[in-house]
Amino acid sequence: MADVLLAFATKQGFTGEVADAVASVLREAGLDVELRPAGEVRDVAGHRAVVLGAPLYMGRWHRDARRLLRRNRKALAELPVAVFALGPLSDEESQRRGAERQLRRALARAAGLEPAAVAVFAGALDPARLRFPFNRMPAGDWRDWDAIRGWAGELPLLLGLRSADERASETLLGAL
C-alpha cells in the first residue's frame, strides 16, 4: 500500500487538478501516493495517512467526500488526515472564511475526526460545464497554485510522515 491515500471528489475537474498538484509535491518529498477518486475508495486501511479534497458547492462539501468520511469514520480516527476544499470563487477574505465555516460543518459530522491540516483554496468555474442558471456565471480560475503547493509541502511534517529534523536536513542540503 502507498504511504498516502489522496482521495478527491470533483465535479468539473478543477479539484482533481489540485489533487494532482498535491500528489506531485508529496511524491517529490519521497512519499508513495495513491491518487483515487473519493467515490471509488471503500477502505483506507493500509495507508500511513489520508488526504481528502473536494469542492464546496452551494454551501455543501461534495457528496463523495462526505460518504468517504462516513464509511471510514473509525479508520480515519486512527490515521493522520489532511483535508482541503475548493470553494470561494474569488480570493476575498470574507468568501474564504465562509467556505471554511462550510467545510468545518461538514467535518464536524465525522465524529472522532481531528484533521492534522485543513485548507480552503479559491476555486475555478467553467460555466460551459454547468446547467442553467449556473451556466450564466462568469468564468474564472482563482486557484493560488503557490499556496496549494506550499500547503502540500508542509503535509509530510503535519501528517507525521517526516520529522522536523528530516525537513531541516532537506532544506540545508538544498541550500548547498
Q: Where are the domains positioned within the chain?
A: 4-175
The C-alpha atoms of residue 42 and residue 71 are separated, in whole angstroms, by: 7
* Residue 69 pLDDT: 94
Residues 6 or more apart whose CB falls under 8 angstroms from that of 134 comprise 127
The amino acid sitting at 49 is A
Query: How do residues 51-90 score in pLDDT, each as one tens digit?
Result: 999 999 877 899 999 999 999 999 999 999 999 999 867 6
Are the CB atoms for 91 and 142 separated by under 8 Å? yes
The C-alpha atoms of residue 62 and residue 85 are separated, in whole angstroms, by: 9
* Residue 135 pLDDT: 72
* Residue 165 pLDDT: 45
The C-alpha atoms of residue 34 and residue 23 are separated, in whole angstroms, by: 8
To the nearest 10 degrees (0 to 180), the angle between helices 14-28 and 145-158 is 50
The C-alpha atoms of residue 19 and residue 46 are separated, in whole angstroms, by: 20
4-175 is classed in which CATH architecture? 3-Layer(aba) Sandwich (3.40)
* Residue 164 pLDDT: 46
Q: What's the chain's average pLDDT?
A: 87
Are the CB atoms for 1 and 31 separated by under 8 Å? no
* Residue 130 pLDDT: 65
* C-alpha cell at position 69: 468520511
pLDDT < 50 stretches in the chain? 163-165, 167-168
* C-alpha cell at position 70: 462516513
